């Protein structure tokens, strides 16, 4: 079992920055991939970024590439999503997820999910 707890969402103005955290616990993470997803009202869940815990492999959605950065702190078992130059269209509930296996953009392949955190970007 893996438990994921997110934090760091909030209401910000366009152009601002926010950092989300996803603290993981429950097992060894050497074979785990983490993903960040978001879901806006009335829309399907959308891939944001994914990282393989044991490597430097990180992949971003085109919509966030160059603005969002994923990093991880192995000592804290925590993955971060640094979001810069935020736009109103980034408004969504952001969730982190974990799976055993390769990094993936498909949310259906992730077994464990955090509770989600709201990010609202005003224009």
What confidence tens digit (pLDDT) does each residue in 16-55 have?
Answer: 999 999 999 887 777 789 999 999 999 999 999 999 988 8
Q: Do 33 and 98 touch, CB atoms closer than 8 A?
A: yes
The separation between CA 75 and the C-alpha centre of its own chain, rounded to angstroms, equals 18
User: Which of 115, 74, 108 is CA-nearest to residue 94?
Assistant: 115
Residue 87: which pLDDT band, with cuts at 50, 70 and 90? Answer: very high
Distance CA 92, CA 73 (A): 25
Count of CB atoms situated within 10 Å of the CB of 108: 7
């Amino acid at each position: 079992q893996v438990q994921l707890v997110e934090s760091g969402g909030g209401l910000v103005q366009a152009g601002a920055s926010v950092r989300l955290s996803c603290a993981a616990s429950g097992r060894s993470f050497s074979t785990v991939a983490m993903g960040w997803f978001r879901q806006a009202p009335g829309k399907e869940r959308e891939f944001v970024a994914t990282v393989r815990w044991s490597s430097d492999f990180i992949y971003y959605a085109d919509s966030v590439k160059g603005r969002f950065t994923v990093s991880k702190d192995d000592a804290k078992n925590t993955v971060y999503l640094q979001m810069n130059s935020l736009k109103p269209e980034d408004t969504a509930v952001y969730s982190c997820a974990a799976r055993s296996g390769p990094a993936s953009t498909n949310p259906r392949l992730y077994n464990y999910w955090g509770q989600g955190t709201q990010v609202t970007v005003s224009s």
